[in-house]
Structure 1
Amino acid sequence: MRLQGSALRLTVFVGESDTWHHKPLYSEIVHRAHRCGLAGATVLRGVEGFGASNRVHTTRLLSLSQDLPVAVIIVDEPAKVRDFLPELDELIAEGLVIVDPVEVVRYVGREPR
């Protein structure tokens, strides 16, 4: 079976060392998305990047590998994604949030042969 349609993708870029009440910020975002009933969330760890500090963080240099970029990606219905944005207002002091329209093609289960 295949489900498809228009949706919004919410991408939150933060640093790996960013925290919320002594736990990783990306983890708090995922758990809040889960509690809010969003369809799913994925955390991707970057191997290199730079942001507002204009300092390049990379896995190639041990001295700079402590705060690698992390992206939390959430895809769901537009209303659900927009309703979740105020949660981020409380959590994010420094980072980047992108909301963009996407077309979803989701495969669910398999037909018996």
Structure 2
Amino acid sequence: MSEEAMLLRLYTDENARHGDEAVMDLVVRRARRAGLAGATVLRGRAGFGARTAPIHEHHAFGIADNLPVVIEMVDQEAALRAFAHTVADLHHIGLMTLERVETLMPLRRD
């Protein structure tokens, strides 16, 4: 039952905003509207990117936390490449990666 698919990862942080909305919530809602097979938001403990001055990490008592977030989506390559264009207006996405994966269950159940 394995199937070839792709995994799109978007890197951001939990405080990233686009207007009044959290970037991670906006990306997940857009992925749902685009009909992607699925999306998951993963919160990291620490991290940094090429354009971030401070290291994103947990602080005592949660004061000034701004932890890294990775949003993962799995679907067919064409769907993910098209979706990547729909989030190009979100300036707080630090990096997007695309890689081949093998799913062990079908992406969609009809």
Q: Shorter-chain TM-score: what band?
A: 0.7 to 0.9
The structure 2 residue matched to 1:17, chosen from 15, 18, 23, is 15
Q: Which residue of 1 aligns with 2:84?
A: 85
* TM value normalised by structure 2: 0.85
What is the root-mean-square deviation in Å for CA atoms of aligned residues? Answer: 2.1
Q: What is the alpha-carbon distance in structure 2 between the residues aligned to residue 66 and residue 60 of structure 1?
A: 6
Point out the more displaced range, 63-72 or 27-36.
63-72
Q: Which residue of 2 aligns with 1:35?
A: 33
Once the two structures are TM-superposed, the CA of residue 5 in structure 1 deviates from its matched residue by: 1.0
* TM value normalised by structure 1: 0.83
- 1:100 correspondence with 2:107: no
Letter in 2 for 1:87: T
Aligned length: 106
Once the two structures are TM-superposed, the CA of residue 15 in structure 1 deviates from its matched residue by: 1.1
What CA deviation, in whole Å up to 9, does each residue of 1:7-32 have, x standing for no partner?
11000000110011211100000000
Q: What is the alpha-carbon distance in structure 1 between the residues aligned to residue 81 and residue 93 of structure 2?
A: 20
Once the two structures are TM-superposed, the CA of residue 74 in structure 1 deviates from its matched residue by: 0.1
- 1:71 correspondence with 2:70: yes
Runs of 5+ in structure 1 lacking a partner?
109-113
> Which is richer in strand?
1
Once the two structures are aligned, what percentage of the paired residues are identical?
Answer: 32
Runs of 5+ in structure 2 lacking a partner?
none
CA contact (8 A) 2:16 2:92 kept: no
Q: Which residue of 2 aligns with 1:111?
A: none
Q: What is the alpha-carbon distance in structure 2 between the residues aligned to residue 43 and residue 69 of structure 1?
A: 10
